[in-house]
């Protein structure tokens, strides 16, 4: 009897992205490098499971949810999570706390237990062993359910394959039907009435209509087609610059090595040169903020007048790291601040200067000449106070680059 192919939405997605990458990950079983966005998403999914766990009669407080998040977050180091530095990991932790607080602010007073959370379903059908994890299932009565999937990325967009996979699994799974029957014994079948993505960073829920029978049929034929290609051993790479640049398997991929990878014990035959892409530099390991800062200071000293954008980046990094001075390889940077005043109501300013007999000192009353009066020793303190009442105060960040000793 043919062994059923273990399959999931994520596996299908990787195969469609690049069959060769699928082979590295699921045939050779080579793990990918940790990704910070996966760790961040996983931590928040853990919190949502903790908050909505139907086994708990009472919902946790905000403080308990934040404590749970911290304990989960602290269980691994920054590099295990895939962050480039402890500073970046801290920013991720702070963003997670912000999201949890905001979620409680919006939903804390109206929390309702769902039918299930993080339900893992294994469904055997059509030669496949379908593995799915459904973030949350809400029961709507009469055999109808709502499936909600949490998203933690920068944006959320419709992902038809994922939604249709959820619909297929939920409506075909005996385990989910059995779960529904624990609260509604009269239910004979499951119908997915609502599907939604909940974007945690923005607290926005995006709802989608269930797919039609025709759409589901076409989707399932596509799934079976991908499965057939995997069984047939079709793992030709599909190189693209943006995909290959950050791929964890680039250093063993035949597109770049010219040889087929046969596992950690050796290499296979050479791949025809016509199928090998021109080798490009490998992606560098992510640098810490401190290293990035030093490089940018050196670049700014060399670029001179064409450095305004770089100057802004350095100021941002120094303020983030709370640095007043930073020494790099060739240059050093010092961050200071200057207060400036803007006089937006020119008519009132001119009238006041005339009243104070100071108009003649400005020649032409511009921002610069008016502000110069504030440091003019011959102008009384009382007059300066009156001038300041018309000003809008602004603090500027000043960056001075000099040759390092």
Residue 317 or 160, more confident: 317
Q: Confidence class of residue 112 from pLDDT cuts 50, 70 and 90? A: very high
Query: What digits encode the pLDDT tens for the residues 22-71?
Result: 999 999 999 999 999 999 999 999 999 999 999 998 999 999 999 999 99
DSSP count for the chain of H helices, then E strands: 17, 11
Query: What digits encode the pLDDT tens for the residues 318-362?
Result: 888 888 888 776 778 888 887 767 777 777 877 787 788 776 666
**Is the pTM of the predicted complex or chain greater than 0.75?**
no
**What one-character DSSP code corresponds to residue 47?**
H
Q: Confidence class of residue 402 from pLDDT cuts 50, 70 and 90? A: low
- Tell how far CA 37 is from the center of its chain: 5
Q: How far apart are CA 173 and CA 124, in angstroms?
A: 9
- Tell how far CA 356 is from the center of its chain: 57
Here the tokens at position 55 are 């086994």
Measure the N-to-C terminal CA separation of the chain; round to a whole number of Å: 75
Residue 1 or 368, more confident: 368
Dihedral (CA of 343, 344, 350, 355) sign: negative
Does 267 have pLDDT greater than 60?
A: no
Q: What is the dihedral of CA 176, 177, 181, 185, to 10 degrees?
A: 170
Q: How far apart are CA 153 and CA 39, in angstroms?
A: 11
Here the tokens at position 126 are 């059509």
Residue 37 or 393, more confident: 37
| Average pLDDT taken over every residue of the chain | 84
Does 280 have pLDDT greater than 50?
A: no
Write out the DSSP string of 263-325: -TT-EEEEPPGGGPPPP-PPPPPPPPHHHHHHHHHHHHHHHGGG-HHHHHHHHHHHHHTT-SE
Here the tokens at position 286 are 């992510």
Q: How many CA atoms lie within 13 A of 156 on its CB side?
A: 18
Place of tokens 């102008």: 379
Q: How far apart are CA 164 and CA 170, in angstroms?
A: 10
**Residue-level pLDDT at 286:** 54
Query: What digits encode the pLDDT tens for the residues 189-218?
Result: 999 999 999 999 999 999 888 899 999 999
């Amino acid at each position: 009897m043919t062994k059923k192919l273990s399959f999931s939405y994520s596996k299908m997605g990787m195969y469609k992205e690049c069959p060769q990458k699928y082979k590295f990950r699921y045939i050779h079983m080579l793990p990918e490098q940790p990704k910070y966005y996966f760790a961040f998403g996983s931590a928040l999914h853990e919190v949502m499971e903790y908050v909505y766990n139907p086994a708990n009669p009472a919902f946790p407080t905000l403080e308990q949810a934040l404590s749970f998040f911290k304990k989960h977050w602290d269980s691994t180091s920054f590099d295990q999570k895939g962050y480039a530095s402890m500073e970046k990991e801290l920013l991720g932790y702070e963003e997670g706390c912000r999201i949890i607080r905001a979620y409680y602010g919006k939903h804390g007073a109206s929390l309702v237990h769902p039918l299930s959370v993080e339900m893992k379903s294994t469904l055997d059908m059509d030669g496949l062993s379908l593995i799915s994890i459904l973030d949350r299932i809400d029961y709507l009565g009469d055999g109808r359910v709502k499936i909600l999937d949490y998203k933690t990325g920068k944006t959320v967009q419709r992902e038809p394959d994922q939604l249709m996979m959820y619909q297929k699994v939920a409506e075909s799974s005996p385990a989910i039907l059995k779960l529904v029957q624990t609260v509604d014994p009269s239910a004979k079948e499951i119908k997915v009435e609502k599907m939604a993505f909940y974007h945690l960073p923005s607290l926005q829920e995006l709802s989608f209509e269930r797919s039609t029978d025709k759409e589901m049929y076409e989707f399932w034929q596509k799934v079976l087609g991908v499965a057939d290609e995997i069984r047939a051993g079709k793992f030709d790479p599909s190189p693209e610059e943006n995909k290959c640049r950050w791929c964890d398997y680039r250093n063993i991929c035949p597109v770049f090595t010219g040889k087929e990878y046969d596992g950690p014990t050796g290499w296979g035959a050479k791949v025809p040169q016509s199928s090998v892409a021109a080798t490009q530099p490998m992606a560098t390991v992510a640098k810490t903020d401190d290293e990035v800062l030093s490089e940018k200071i050196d670049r700014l000293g060399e670029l001179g007048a064409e450095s305004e954008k770089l100057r802004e980046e350095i100021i941002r990094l120094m303020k983030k790291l709370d640095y007043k001075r930073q020494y790099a390889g060739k240059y050093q940077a010092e961050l200071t601040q200057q207060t400036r005043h803007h006089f937006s109501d020119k008519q009132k300013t001119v009238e006041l200067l005339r009243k104070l007999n100071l108009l003649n000192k400005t020649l032409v009353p511009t921002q610069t000449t008016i502000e110069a009066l504030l440091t003019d020793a011959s102008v009384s303190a009382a007059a300066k106070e009156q001038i300041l009442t018309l000003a809008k105060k602004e603090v500027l960040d000043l960056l001075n680059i000099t040759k390092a000793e």
